[in-house]
Amino acid sequence: MSGITCACGGSPALIYTCSGAADVGELADRSARQLSRDQKGAMSCLAGIGGNISGFIKSTEGADKVLVIDGCPLNCARKTLEAKGLNNFRHLQVTSLGFQKGKTEVSQANIEKVCNEAVILIASPTTLKQENLL
Amino acid sequence: MKIQILGTGCPKCHKLAEEAETAAKELGLSYELVKVTDINEIMGFGVMITPALAVDGNVKFAGKVPGVEEIKKHLK
């Protein structure tokens, strides 16, 4: 969680990631943190959604844009939001970018590749759910 | 009932506090309105976007000022 945004100035995209144990999960997590540091969005806590913490859920409902990054096709992060009735988000799956689970190096170059795709998705027009557009 | 307005003091936070107070009065509620401005305390609610409104610690909405009538629905 990177900080709080005041809606007076327009809210940045909230970013959720699976942060899974596999290499692609780590890549998703580190990309979300990089996006937060670069102020391309604000990373939030997926566990807060799963844990039914009202502040996280209501912040997600109130956000102008939400990006969910999953490492692999299990799409755990996406399903976590959907289970709480949160459907208005953009979705990026790391393996859709050509990375293979178990065979991916979590390097700065690969983080940048994921971040670049994430920035494009964040800037895209709002839709109910965008999946694997890239 | 404790109505908590979560925000660091921006114009929208002030507007939300005013509207929440109006809503509570029109409903005839017995309430205490508290402005939570400390950012660490706000983060303790899991709130990522302000302003937000919580009732007895439970966040009802965030990132918007929905108007008196909408606020009333959250206070009932």
Question: What's the complex ipTM?
Answer: 0.93
Tell me the nearest-neighbour CA distance from A71 into chain B, angstroms.
23
Contacts of A64 in chain B (CB under 8 A): 63
Which overall architecture, per CATH, does domain A12-125 show? 3-Layer(aba) Sandwich (3.40)
Residues A114 and A18 sit within 8 Å (Cβ to Cβ): no
pLDDT for A8 equals 66
Indicate the burial class of A96 (C-beta count within 10 angstroms; 0-12, 13-18, 19 or more).
middle
- pLDDT tier for residue A6 given thresholds of 50, 70 and 90: confident
Percentage of chain A lying above the pLDDT 90 cut: 83
Report the domain count for chain B.
1
Mean pLDDT taken over chain A: 91
Q: What is the pTM of this model?
A: 0.90
Segment B11-38 shows an average pLDDT of 96
Q: What is the pLDDT of residues A63-93, one digit of tens each?
A: 999 999 999 999 999 999 999 999 999 999 9
Does A100 score more than 50 pLDDT? yes
Let me know: does A25 contact A73? Beta carbons within 8 Å: no
Q: Show the domain range for B44.
A: 2-75
Q: Which residue has the tokens 């971040």?
A: A115
Instruction: Based on the residue annotation, tell me whether B10 is a catalytic residue of this protein.
Output: yes
Nearest CB to A5; choose among B13, B45, B48? B48
What pLDDT score does A120 carry? 95
Distance from B48 to chain A by nearest Cα, in Å?
5
The tokens describing A38, both together, are 């670069």
Q: Is the pLDDT of residue A130 over 60?
A: no
CATH number of the domain at B37, please. 3.40.30.10
Closest CA to A102 of A22, A41, A29, A43: A22
pLDDT tens digits for range A31-63? 999 999 999 999 999 999 999 999 999 999 999
Q: How far apart are CA A6 and CA B37, in angstroms?
A: 12
Q: Residue A67 forms beta bridges with which residues?
A: A15, A90
* Residue A133, pLDDT score: 44
Q: Where are the alpha helices (DSSP H) in A38-107?
A: 46-50, 54-62, 76-83
Contact A70, A92 (CB under 8 A): yes
Residue A126's pLDDT band, with cuts at 50, 70 and 90, is low
Tell me if B46 and A59 make a contact (CB, 8 A cut-off). Answer: yes
Domain positions in chain A are 12-125
